Structure 1
């Protein structure tokens, strides 16, 4: 999957930022042990620096999680510009057949703009309860609306889903179909996918998958206030409104999640704004510095990433003096960018226990991952991991010995079982513990499988680099099948 058109590239000094500042950014990311997968730094519409931590690649789409919300908001902006709806329209007016028998005053007062600003009036996120019913619209409208809409901020992915449902209702199109001629084609974005609800409506609040450069272009469109290649494709007034302070979200913490919220965009410190998604997917727009930063990652502490941006890149972008090129420093930066990588684990590359495991099938106890069997076949170059799962089919995963090896595999928890690019490796620890790592390179997730064989019994620990329950380890036991 490749972008149809690429942004122009230039050395950092070509747009007034020093290569040394980018090196400092990379140093800080390394020193703080933040797992970035890619970044692109744009200044005045040109890419001044970019990097992918191998085995992540520029052509791979990446799960955006809640960064999807900013794209959904943009679709509403196009619809409003074309007169298909107004942000003052009543939400229940779009779904007369889905409303509850008793319509509360607060529900009746809920408008499209309240969905956009996360000010629906719900006391908290209602997404999980909305998903209990196959008809998410009906479930959403049945939820109690505790506050007058517009007076209470509650981050609520269900609100974004309702924006998608409204667009689907008035146009008969999915978010992607609607955005393709208006956003994707003009900007030359790559092909994308967007997950859907049980009734086939795009989820809106998450589920979009695009490349890092697509994220960067999206941010550049907003920096240019809706203008692209000399044409105003989205009204500047909408850009200004969507990225402005629309509702207070200050909860007493002095961080980048308490600076106010726009229309599916977060206000930031330093007069910047951003779209972001779980585990470190960022589109940061810095109008005063004429800069955009796109980042994909697998981090638990998203504030730490923003702190590095503010500490290392913001001062360089804000500097008044012109930065003179330094060929030696530029060469150092080029070398650093070319050598970015996530290392495969390398402890012991082989073990006598491989003979005991070779070809043996272990039947696993019932588990939430729905893994049924596991087996390994070893070779000089690596190994093949065979996973049995009746629900989504058996998987054969290639593993390198202390190196990454590519496969196409499916996992239920990733993009609804869609086939994924994955990189696998293994190493031995203490001769009797096998550690397998699987990088799902279109997602933030790295899965670690730790296998401890003991005769006919296998104990397997499953963990992830990031998860909704941080640090959780799932232990599954297995029994060898008869030879």
Structure 2
């Protein structure tokens, strides 16, 4: 390391050189920012979809409601939903035994994955209560996003407010977090277990509040006793976890995974992270695009290496090293500032049937690039125009999915050659509020264009090919 350089500064270069798909990373040591890094084109202040990291925020909402006397962990779940109870003959015998603490600790008693059965219905709470419960609540760990949804629904019922409005004066506001977007079920109840978006630096603030035992800058947010309970082992999550994912087999608290070294974390799909390590006086917040959550263990290992004082990577590192590494492969550049395109301007290309429902494409030249119009049919909010520049990336807005819903969101566009066909072009779309990076590869085919769609991470289809023909 160079003189005056911190060990934390080595971590971004190690991430970039390894190809680990980390988009943003904030480290706090002793309550101060030790590292704040964003891979291009991601940046500070842009909300990031947290997926299941939302669960940990919902847990704190329950703790705040408990502190206010609105509920207790031992309250029966059915007591909050007298209007949604299944018929007596269809009611699981264990349902009356299910308590709030069982929802918090993922021990509601379900053996299987009830998520598809619950979210396929309009009324998620009624669907949850109608599910078969095979185990005595409190005896069997089963990770369950619908359980966290029920916690959100309970807080909304006892407070009379939606979850975001409940948390604005009690959590988000005191932490200096602007009112966030949090997705909802079809009836408008906050999803709880998913769908919250926060900037990376705000996730770090949340982690610092946890580290300080429920206070932030001297203000009490949630009781220290609740933090202790939430971050202590309440259920055993060790069964079936691969040996290489050691920090996912250390026990489970109230919507927090316990880790080595007395640390704990909230996490979400594709590697969203809020890690708190009291023994190291450390908070780490990250947003990633991991195709496998096994890669989260790699990131955790590196953070713990740093926290324990081990060297991160040998050799001298400079800011220029990081900038060079992160720029490599992000955007293509056009020779002489222009590309020949495989499709004709001002011509409508009708796209064959495809999983996305894309109907047609049309290109209109601009001074330094082109606008590409995507048409998904009448009334489809995804239809619209995106700008592309031959020499640089452009930022625009487009409608694309987040967790449960489509949202108008920021997207960074770029164009580059196709590695497969000299006549083809790759159009890249970085949806910088999510992990999603979409690539359209367009190349000429006989009397048509061949369009290939690819997305780096997804819960659904990850690619398709379709021909596009002149109308």
Give the TM-score of the pair, scaled to structure 1. 0.88
Whether 1:388 aligns to 2:375 is yes
Q: Would you say the 8 A contact 1:124–1:156 is kept in 2?
A: no
How do residues 50-449 of structure 1 correspond to structure 2 at under 5 angstroms? 50-102=36-88, 103-252=91-240, 253-254=242-243, 255=245, 256-311=247-302, 313-319=303-309, 332-336=317-321, 340-341=326-327, 343-346=330-333, 350-354=338-342, 356-379=343-366, 381-389=368-376, 390=378, 391-392=380-381, 394-401=383-390, 403-412=392-401, 416-429=405-418, 430-449=421-440
> How much does 1:383 deviate?
2.1
Shift of the 401–204 alpha-carbon distance from structure 1 to 2, 3 Å rule, reads same
> How much does 1:358 deviate?
1.5
Q: Distance in 1 between matches of 2:117 and 2:398?
A: 31
More displaced 10-residue stretch of structure 1: 80-89 or 424-433: 424-433
> How much does 1:476 deviate?
2.2
> How much does 1:427 deviate?
1.7
> How much does 1:229 deviate?
1.6
> How much does 1:414 deviate?
6.4
Computed over aligned residues only, the root mean square deviation of the Cα atoms, in angstroms, reads 2.4
In the TM superposition, what whole-angstrom CA distance separates every residue of 1:168-226 from its partner, at most 9, and x where no partner exists? 11122111000000001111112310001111100011110111111000000000001
Q: Would you say the 8 A contact 2:338–2:368 is kept in 1?
A: no
Shift of the 415–112 alpha-carbon distance from structure 1 to 2, 3 Å rule, reads closer
Q: Distance in 2 between matches of 1:239 and 1:249?
A: 19
Match of 1:325 in 2: none
Q: Would you say the 8 A contact 1:242–1:262 is kept in 2?
A: yes
Shift of the 266–347 alpha-carbon distance from structure 1 to 2, 3 Å rule, reads farther
Q: Which runs of 5+ in 1 are unaligned?
A: 1-11, 321-327
More displaced 10-residue stretch of structure 1: 425-434 or 205-214: 425-434
In the TM superposition, what whole-angstrom CA distance separates every residue of 1:286-311 from its partner, at most 9, and x where no partner exists? 11000000001111233324324423
Q: Distance in 1 between matches of 2:145 and 2:229?
A: 20
**Secondary structure in 2 matching 1:410:** strand
Shift of the 333–39 alpha-carbon distance from structure 1 to 2, 3 Å rule, reads farther
Q: Distance in 2 between matches of 1:352 and 1:367?
A: 26
Q: Distance in 2 between matches of 1:466 and 1:280?
A: 11
In the TM superposition, what whole-angstrom CA distance separates every residue of 1:337-360 from its partner, at most 9, and x where no partner exists? 666457113487755445x42222
> How much does 1:283 deviate?
0.3
Q: Would you say the 8 A contact 1:350–1:427 is kept in 2?
A: no
Q: Would you say the 8 A contact 2:398–2:409 is kept in 1?
A: yes
In the TM superposition, what whole-angstrom CA distance separates every residue of 1:75-124 from its partner, at most 9, and x where no partner exists? 00000111100111111111112111133221111111111111111112
Shift of the 378–35 alpha-carbon distance from structure 1 to 2, 3 Å rule, reads farther
In the TM superposition, what whole-angstrom CA distance separates every residue of 1:375-414 from its partner, at most 9, and x where no partner exists? 2223452221110123215311112225311111112566
More displaced 10-residue stretch of structure 1: 378-387 or 260-269: 378-387
**Secondary structure in 2 matching 1:115:** helix
Whether 1:477 aligns to 2:470 is no
Q: Distance in 1 between matches of 2:19 and 2:382?
A: 36
Q: Distance in 2 between matches of 1:265 and 1:438?
A: 33
> How much does 1:336 deviate?
4.9
Q: Would you say the 8 A contact 1:344–1:402 is kept in 2?
A: no
Q: Would you say the 8 A contact 1:51–1:338 is kept in 2?
A: no
Q: Would you say the 8 A contact 1:41–1:293 is kept in 2?
A: yes
Shift of the 440–427 alpha-carbon distance from structure 1 to 2, 3 Å rule, reads same
**Secondary structure in 2 matching 1:97:** helix
> How much does 1:24 deviate?
3.6
Shift of the 410–229 alpha-carbon distance from structure 1 to 2, 3 Å rule, reads same
